[in-house]
C-alpha cells in the first residue's frame, strides 16, 4: 500500500509487500523489496536499498547508498525469515549498513529513536541500539552488540560481538571495544580502557550534582580503590537506595558475558 501523499521518484523500484505511509519521499534509483513498512514523514534519498522484513518508523532521514535489511554476514545464516525494526526520527547517513537478525539469537536487529548514525556505520545482526545514540563515521558493531541510550561511539571504533556499551558512556575515536563498557564511563584505546566519567555529557543531560558525585564514587569503587569486581558491587550497592541512577552499573555486571573493561 502506497499512501497517495507519498512522493516517489519514477525510477524507484518497489516489489513485494511494501507499505509506504503518508508524506514519505523516496529519491531516484532506490530499491525496496519484501515485507517493508516506511513510516509517515520519512525521507529516503537516492540509491538506497531497503529489504524486508524491515519496519521503519516516522520522520527518519535515510541518506544515499544506505542499505537496510540485508542478510546477516553470519556464516550460520541460511535464509531464515528475520527482521530489522527502526524507530522514529533517526538520521541514517550515507552508506550505513543495517543487517537483519539471526534465528540463533533474537531474530531481529533493533534501532531505537533519535539516533545519529554517521557515514559508513555498520550495524550487524541482532544488535540492539537504543535511543539518542551517536555513532561516528565508520564506527562498526559486530553481531549481538547492545548500545544503551545516549552512548557515543566515536569514529573508526569497532565493538566486538556480544559486548554492551553502557548508557551515557563515551568511546573515543579509533578505539577497539572487546569488553563491556559500564554506563557513564569514558573509554579509549586498543583495547579500550576506562579514562574517567563522562562528566560533560551528564551535565548536558541534566543530571544533578549529587548524582554525578555518586557516579564518580561508583567509578572509584570499580577502578581506583583496588577492589575486585565483587567488592566494587558491594560498595556501589550501598548507595543504590539514595541514588537509583547507579543501578545501571549493577545491571551490567550481572548480565556481562564478555567481562568489564579494566
Is residue 135 within 8 A of residue 118, CB to CB? The reply is yes
Tell me the C-alpha distance between 174 and 59, whole Å. Answer: 31
The H or E element containing residue 20 is strand 18-20
Catalytic residue list contains 125: yes
Cell numbers found for residue 226 = 583496588
Q: Which of 143, 166, 172, 248 is catalytic?
A: 143
Q: Which of 88, 126, 149, 180 is catalytic?
A: 126
Query: What are the residues whose beta carbons fall under 8 Å from the beta carbon of 213, sequence distance 6 or more?
Result: none
Cell numbers found for residue 25 = 519521499
Catalytic residue list contains 143: yes
Catalytic residue list contains 126: yes
Q: Which of 47, 125, 144, 168 is catalytic?
A: 125
Tell me the C-alpha distance between 4 and 49, whole Å. Answer: 22
Q: Which sequence positions are flagged as catalytic?
A: 125-126, 143
Amino acid at each position: 500500500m502506497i499512501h497517495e501523499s507519498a512522493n516517489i521518484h519514477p525510477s524507484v523500484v518497489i516489489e513485494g509487500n511494501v507499505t509506504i505511509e503518508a508524506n514519505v519521499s523516496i529519491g531516484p534509483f532506490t530499491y525496496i523489496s519484501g515485507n517493508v513498512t516506511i513510516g509517515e514523514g520519512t525521507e529516503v534519498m537516492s540509491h538506497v536499498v531497503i529489504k524486508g522484513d524491515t519496519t521503519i518508523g516516522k520522520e527518519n532521514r535515510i541518506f544515499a547508498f544506505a542499505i537496510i535489511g540485508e542478510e546477516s554476514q553470519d556464516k550460520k545464516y541460511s535464509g531464515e525469515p528475520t527482521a530489522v525494526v527502526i524507530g522514529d526520527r533517526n538520521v541514517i547517513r550515507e552508506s550505513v549498513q543495517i543487517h537483519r537478525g539471526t534465528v540463533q539469537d533474537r531474530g531481529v536487529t533493533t534501532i531505537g529513536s533519535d539516533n545519529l548514525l554517521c557515514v559508513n556505520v555498520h550495524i550487524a545482526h541482532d544488535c540492539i541500539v537504543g535511543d539518542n545514540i551517536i555513532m561516528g563515521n565508520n564506527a562498526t558493531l559486530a553481531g549481538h552488540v547492545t548500545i544503551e541510550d545516549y552512548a557515543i561511539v566515536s569514529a573508526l571504533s569497532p565493538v566486538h560481538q556480544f559486548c554492551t556499551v553502557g548508557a551515557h558512556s563515551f568511546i573515543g575515536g579509533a578505539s577497539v571495544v572487546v569488553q563491556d563498557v559500564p554506563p557513564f564511563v569514558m573509554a579509549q584505546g586498543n583495547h579500550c580502557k576506562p579514562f574517567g566519567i563522562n562528566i560533560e555529557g551528564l551535565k548536558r543531560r541534566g543530571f544533578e550534582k549529587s548524582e554525578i558525585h555518586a557516579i564518580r564514587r561508583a567509578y572509584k569503587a570499580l577502578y581506583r580503590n583496588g577492589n575486585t569486581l565483587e567488592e566494587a558491587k558491594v560498595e556501589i550497592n550501598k548507595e543504590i537506595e539514595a541514588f537509583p541512577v547507579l543501578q545501571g552499573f549493577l545491571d551490567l555486571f550481572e548480565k556481562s558475558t564478555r567481562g568489564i573493561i579494566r
